[in-house]
Structure 1
């Protein structure tokens, strides 16, 4: 007997289940990042000191509600010329900060747990959400190697993650992501549409009124 959409919704929101299969190639790992919390937050602060958050602009001229920065050898950018990866931070003309060892270790261990043991990310997009910020449904498709998964880490305020299918109109799971949760998708799910509903107001004991999302990719 197969698992229904509602079954997946209930399983994905059951805090007692550490690992939840969302479908072929997609896994949710409850609390997976918590064991490295101190190192992650310390190293993230160092990254942001070098490359502060900024609100990028889409090719259509829309200012994104989510503030962004990057670490690793390649950083994801958007401006009026398009979406792309670049080794240089256009704000200061310097290379993006190196990816800290704590972040790389987390990304690789989560990918391995999800069935992708050979994952070596070369970029980490760091998104900062404030209450009201959202991310519309989209695909991560600017990477050259689509055989590698996406590893997405949630820190700070809780959020509702929309995880759909290969078409924008496909039905979506609504996953409640808490501090330390990780979602990994690749293989058949690599180009599935996903997004974040507007962030609710709240106060997190470590990150205040923010949610941070670390999205690891193999871009080159």
Structure 2
């Protein structure tokens, strides 16, 4: 459908930009292949346990830094104690190109140096409640890439999990960047549209979401 009806980039809120169809099919396949490797080792993809006893319905694996509620470490003490896979240079370059595509600001893109990514896999039942990405010490933008099944992505405000919010469709290959005034927006995924993905991406089912961030941490913080 998106090939027949162009979806232009749109500013959802100041600093929050949706760029539909940004990833090519070849880029999506490369990312799926890379994520499949990271999901197996050295730290396996898993459903994250929450401090109050709940378990997230999305499955997660991290690179660069390991995230667990609500902090980053180099090793996955809540999984198997192994050090996570390094954040590759080609992902840094991809993040910079994403910021440039969203903001059209070469200086901002050149300064962007993501050092971690959370990779979430959604099956047809998985959801993600409204939350803020605020465990990073740096306020640089978050770069979000979607592959596979489309989803409803809920973009809220910076003050509350409740309204006002805007629901948009994220499809395979879409880019979403939020920074500046929208860096700490509440956001979530209330629904995945099962069966809408293209198996040519290398992902036969489900939705893969990659969010690149700048932690602002150094190895002395590990």
Task: Name the TM tier (shorter chain).
Answer: 0.7 to 0.9
1:152 corresponds to: 144
2:71 corresponds to: 84
Deviations 1:25-66 (A, max 9, x none): 111111112252232222222212213210111111111111
1:37 is matched with which residue: 28, 37, 55? 28
Distance 1:33 1:100 in 2: 18
Say if 1:36 and 1:102, in contact at 8 Å, map to a contact too: no
Distance 1:119 1:170 in 2: 31
1:210–1:169 Cα change, 3 Å:
same
Distance 1:64 1:190 in 2: 23
Say if 1:18 and 1:31, in contact at 8 Å, map to a contact too: no
1:184–1:48 Cα change, 3 Å:
same
Aligned length: 201
Length-normalised TM-score, structure 2: 0.84
1:36–1:201 Cα change, 3 Å:
closer
Say if 1:157 and 1:211, in contact at 8 Å, map to a contact too: yes
- Name stretches of at least 5 consecutive residues in structure 2 with no aligned partner: 217-222
Distance 2:209 2:195 in 1: 16
| 3-state DSSP of counterpart to 1:88 | coil
Deviations 1:171-214 (A, max 9, x none): 11111111110100100011111000132332631312211110
1:113 corresponds to: 101
Deviations 1:58-104 (A, max 9, x none): 111111111111011x12113xxxx1111112333222111234433
Deviations 1:148-173 (A, max 9, x none): 00111111111000001112223111
Report the RMSD for the aligned CA atoms in angstroms: 1.8
Distance 2:5 2:147 in 1: 16
Residue 15 of structure 1: how far off its partner (Å): 5.3
Length-normalised TM-score, structure 1: 0.85
- Name stretches of at least 5 consecutive residues in structure 1 with no aligned partner: 1-13
1:219 corresponds to: 215
